[in-house]
Amino acid sequence: MLKINDLTIVFNKDQSVENHKMALNHVNLTVEEGDFITIIGGNGSGKSTLMNMICGVYQPDTGSIVLDDVDITNYSEEKRASYLGRVFQDPHMGTCANMSILENLEIASRRGEKPNLKWGFSKTKLPRYKELLASLDLGLEKRLTQKVGLLSGGQRQAVTLIMATLKQPRLLLLDEHTAALDPKTAKKVLDLTDKVVNENKITTIMITHNMKDAIKYGNRLLMLNDGKIIFDIKGEEKKNLTIEQLLEKFELHSDIEISDKMILS
């Protein structure tokens, strides 16, 4: 489904050699159809860089990215957007604050289509929008005309999740999308994420700092350090994985900083 081959990128190449940062170091990864992969690692391990490379934010120094047997390595970020859904860490990204929930959903429904000057809503879409919002169990289906900027962070991330999956992306990318939320709200959004991903069988990659969440959600777990994949576990092995075992993997690499948030939150 997704094949990443020998992916490398070095930052600060215009500076002296000692300031060069190899953010990804010859990464190889095959993502199967229907995988729900959680990615964990310390700060600067390459997690977000890998996701940004998949999205086309950065171009690799070496390697290729192949999606559904199509080489998208040189595709622009805009061209890739028709294949991908993404939810960011910041609840303010991914939505238009001054537009209503309905208007945001309408924009999301047109992702990948050729732009035109026509604007308006089709009444035939309203039942679907209400159904999706009702599934969030937040009462948002009754507030379609309310501006998104008036929603709480959790409500906004939930709407962004619906927007990102509205057109069944080939790949859903979640970049620490609950990191800015309080624990109770974060759990609510994660449970919604799990429900949406599994019910729609969406291939998903989710970055998280939280070991508990990395173990609980998805069928496969990757650990990154220093731009490399150092641990890859899936299936029954992942189901039986414990935080203690994951900590042992971290402790094998003394340069990884382990925060309380990674263990306790």
State pLDDT tens for residues 183-231: 888 898 999 999 999 999 999 999 998 999 999 999 999 999 999 999 9
Please report the pLDDT score of residue 114 as a whole number.
64
If you average pLDDT over residues 18-42, what whole number do you get?
93
Which segments of the chain belong to CATH 3.40.50.300? 2-83+169-264
* pLDDT level of residue 255 (50, 70, 90 thresholds): low
* pLDDT level of residue 161 (50, 70, 90 thresholds): very high
Please report the pLDDT score of residue 31 as a whole number.
97
Please report the pLDDT score of residue 144 as a whole number.
93
Please report the pLDDT score of residue 94 as a whole number.
85
For the segment(s) 2-83+169-264, the CATH number from 3.40.50.300, 2.40.30.10, 3.40.640.10, 1.10.10.10 is 3.40.50.300
Q: What is the mean pLDDT of the chain?
A: 89
* pLDDT level of residue 246 (50, 70, 90 thresholds): confident
pLDDT(111) > 90? no
Please report the pLDDT score of residue 252 as a whole number.
73
Q: What angle do CA 208, 191, 143 make, to 5 degrees?
A: 115
Per residue, the 3-state secondary structure of the chain, as one string, reads CEEEEEEEEEECCCCCHHHCEEEEEEEEEEECCCCEEEEEECCCCCHHHHHHHHHCCCCCCEEEEEECCEECCCCCHHHHCCCEEEECCCCCCCCCCCCEHHHHHHHHHCCCCCCCCCCCCCHHHHHHHHHHHHCCCCCHHHCCCCEHHHCCHHHHHHHHHHHHHCCCCCEEEEECCCCCCCHHHHHHHHHHHHHHHHHHCCCEEEECCCHHHHHHCCCEEEEEECCEEEEEEEHHHHHCCCHHHHHHHHHCCCCCCCCHHHHHC
Please state, for a pLDDT cut of 70, what percent of the chain lies above it.
91
pLDDT(261) > 60? no
Please report the pLDDT score of residue 83 as a whole number.
92
Which of 110-119, 158-167, 220-229 bottoms out in mean pLDDT, i.e. has the lowest?
Answer: 110-119
If you average pLDDT over residues 48-63, what whole number do you get?
95
Please report the pLDDT score of residue 258 as a whole number.
55
Please report the pLDDT score of residue 115 as a whole number.
58
* pLDDT level of residue 260 (50, 70, 90 thresholds): very low
CB 36 within 8 Å of CB 218: yes
pLDDT(19) > 70? yes
* pLDDT level of residue 262 (50, 70, 90 thresholds): low
pLDDT(59) > 90? yes
Identify which of 183, 165, 187, 184 has the alpha carbon closest to the alpha carbon of residue 174: 165
pLDDT(163) > 90? yes
